[in-house]
Structure 1
Amino acid sequence: MQSQNRLFDDFVKVMNGAAGTIAGMTREAQAAVQDRAREWIGGLDLVSREEFEAVKAMAAAAREENEALKARLDALEGRAGKAAAKPAAGKGRSRPAV
């Protein structure tokens, strides 16, 4: 009975060592995959969330400014059209052409 227990104890020690080795290999493999993923993602030239939100806010401000300038231009064109139309309408032929 003693020899069977000793064989079983040795087997348990080997299995514990193997489990520890496998756990260590798993941690190393996981770290290597994470490093590769960071390198790959770093090379993609992606923007951060903060940069994206800043550009989005600037685009919204530019859009509002564009709309304001368009309204101003429409108003100026309206005034210019009215000013050009008044003298043409007010011109009458009081003298005959020679």
Structure 2
Amino acid sequence: MTQSNSRLFDDLGRLMTDAAGLADGVRREVETVARSQMERMVATMDLAREEDVDILREMVATQRTANEALEARVAALEEQVTQLSSASPVEKSDA
């Protein structure tokens, strides 16, 4: 009887090992199908690539710097106009 119990446990162990291998195979197959579906969905979407976003980020930073420089120039010019207006008032001529 000891030998039959040992054989039963061996068979049960093999069955469990086979079931674990089958479960692992199913898991891998489900992951592959899910990954494939996600890649197909992403491919149909109009998404920006990371490289494109990085390029746009650099362009925006450059434009922000240029805008700040232009704002400073406009402020300086407005100051000059104010100083010139107050220093020499324009006389109106009677025509």
TM-score between the two structures when normalised by the length of structure 1: 0.61
Give the CA deviation at 1:78: 5.1
Pair 86,16 (structure 1): closer, same or farther in 2 beyond 3 Å = same
TM-score between the two structures when normalised by the length of structure 2: 0.62
Pair 65,14 (structure 1): closer, same or farther in 2 beyond 3 Å = same
CA distance in 1, matches of 2:11, 2:41: 45
Q: Residue 56 of structure 1: SS of its match in structure 2?
A: helix
Aligned length: 92
Residue deviations 1:16-69 (CA, integer Å, cap 9, x gap) = 222211111111112222222233334443333333232122112112212222
- Name the larger-Rg structure: 1
Q: Residue 46 of structure 1: SS of its match in structure 2?
A: coil
Unaligned runs of 5+ in 1: none
Pair 76,26 (structure 1): closer, same or farther in 2 beyond 3 Å = same
